[in-house]
A = this chain, B = another copy of it.
Amino acid sequence: MARIFNFAAGPSTLPLPVLEQVQKDLVNYKSAGFSLIEASHRGSHYSEVHAAAGAGLRKLLGLPDNYKVLWLQGGATLQFSMVPLNLLAGGKPADYTLTGTWAKKAIADAKKVGKVTVVFDGTEQKFMTLPKASAVKATAGATYLHLTSNETIGGVQWQEWPQVGVPIVCDMSSDFLSRRIPLEKFGLIYAGAQKNLGPAGLAVVIIRDDMLAQCSEELTAYLSYKVHAGEDSLYNTPPVFPIWVSRLVIDYLNGNGGLPWVETLAQERSSLLYSMIAKHPNFYRCPVDAHCRSKMNVVWRLPTEDLEKQFITEAKAAGMDGLKGHRSVGGCRASIYNAMPVEGAAALADFMDKFARKHG
């Protein structure tokens, strides 16, 4: 098969061995005589997958026992609701950092529930920078500080974490499982699956026990972290397929060197592209401040919009798709999540080099 390099921002490329395993097992799962997507979520086949996904994720992250893992639906978008509904009910205060499109959505929902202080606002810099981690302070009495670890549209990523006296709540959707993180700083981490983990239709929430204990008791069932934690994410039927695939991705990562391995790969892929941008300073331009450039979503401009269009069209013809920047900012963007082979980034860098030589 002619597999292309797919640089889409999410849903995005998955490890080929995982896709091939799913294909093989899809109709007759482990000789059960039915598909796993037809299996009862209380039966032995799915139970094994559910438990293995949780155990594998704990191993991959080195997660201490005082954190619960929840497998939910509704993506990070539903978490923009659930985080404040659980933690800010009754108008409690929290600090948010406004670092791009995703942070803006999280803030809009939190404001409907609690009292939000925006402690950093990148609007005037068009979200092309982040504050130094050491410059971020929490306000007195804040329940948590909310960060968006990586912004897929602006292409900014926190490379260091603020040291504040309150728990960090972090939307890690677009760089989850792409690097080691200092878990002790985080009270709650959430991530939509469809970048580094698995297919769309799944969100992972990792919540520390003391945060869970603070959660509202007044919520309707699905919106309550306590309900899901109390039932090991089986209060209702879980999204079987995305959890199955994510389990295979987690096994694949654990089997290949875990987070130190993916961290090295992310460094390699992003360096290939940022170096190529730097090599042609009169042709390519990355608008993002150097200290916070994303290793997941590399954004850059060409001298004209016409050249950007031509670049994207010719790259697609050469087997590299999904390179158009988000419609809200234009330009080019390469999303290079865990499953993008380094060869894909190398091929793109080579294409960029040739394109710049030809048109620069």
Residue positions of A touching B, CB distance < 8 A: 1-4, 6, 8-14, 16, 19-20, 22-23, 26-28, 31-35, 37-41, 43, 72-78, 80-81, 84-85, 105, 108-109, 112-113, 192, 194, 199-202, 218-223, 235-242, 245, 319, 321-322
Question: Which of A6, A85, A235 has the most B CB atoms < 10 Å from its CB?
Answer: A6
How many angstroms between the C-alpha atoms of A269 and B202 in the bound complex? 35
Contact between B40 and A11, CB atoms less than 8 A apart: yes
Report which residue of A1, A33, A220 has the largest number of chain B beta carbons within 10 angstroms of its beta carbon.
A220
In the complex with contacts A192-B237, A201-B241, A11-B33 CB distance below 8 A: no
Cβ contact within 8 Å between B245 and A37 = yes
A-B contact pairs, 9 of them (CB 8 A): A2-B31, A13-B34, A19-B35, A23-B23, A41-B200, A74-B78, A75-B236, A77-B221, A239-B239
Is there contact, CB below 8 Å, between B14 and A37? yes
For the complex of A and B, 10 pairs with smallest distance between CB atoms: A201-B239, A4-B33, A73-B73, A81-B220, A77-B236, A109-B220, A8-B40, A23-B26, A37-B199, A78-B222
Report yes or no: A200 in contact with B33, Cβ–Cβ below 8 A: no
Residues of B within 8 A of A245 (CB): 37
CB distance from A192 to the nearest CB of B (A): 7
Partner of A201, one of B11, B26, B113, B201: B201
- In the complex, A35 Cα to B321 Cα: how many Å? 13
Interface residues of A, dominant DSSP: loop
**Cβ distance A108 to chain B, nearest Cβ, rounded Å:** 7
Query: How many Å from the CB of A22 to the closest CB on chain B?
Result: 6
CB neighbours of A28 from chain B (8 A): 1, 3
From A326, which residue of chain B is reached at the shortest CB distance?
A: B42
Cα–Cα distance between A112 and B201 once the two chains are bound (Å): 27
If A23-B23, A33-B319 touch, does A8 touch B39 (CB 8 Å cutoff)? yes
Could you tell me if B11 and A41 are in contact, using CB atoms closer than 8 angstroms? yes
Partner of A73, one of B1, B26, B78, B322: B78
Q: How far is the CB of A84 from chain B (nearest CB, A)?
A: 8
Closest B residue, CB atoms, query A202: B201
A11: B residues at CB distance < 8 A: 37-41, 237, 240
User: A112 to B194, alpha carbons, bound, how many Å?
Assistant: 33
**Contacts A199-B240, A201-B242, A237-B10: A221 and B73 contacting too (C-beta < 8 A)?**
no
Q: Are B27 and A85 in contact (CB under 8 A)?
A: no
B-chain residues with CB within 8 Å of residue A16 when the two chains form the complex = 27
Q: How far is the CA of A78 from the CA of B75 in the complex (A)?
A: 13
Partner of A112, one of B19, B23, B200, B218: B218
B8, B108, B113, B200: the one within 8 Å of A241 (CB): B200
Q: What B residues does A78 contact at CB under 8 A?
A: 73-74, 222-223
Closest to A235 in B: B77
* Assembly CA distance A27 to B26 (angstroms): 11
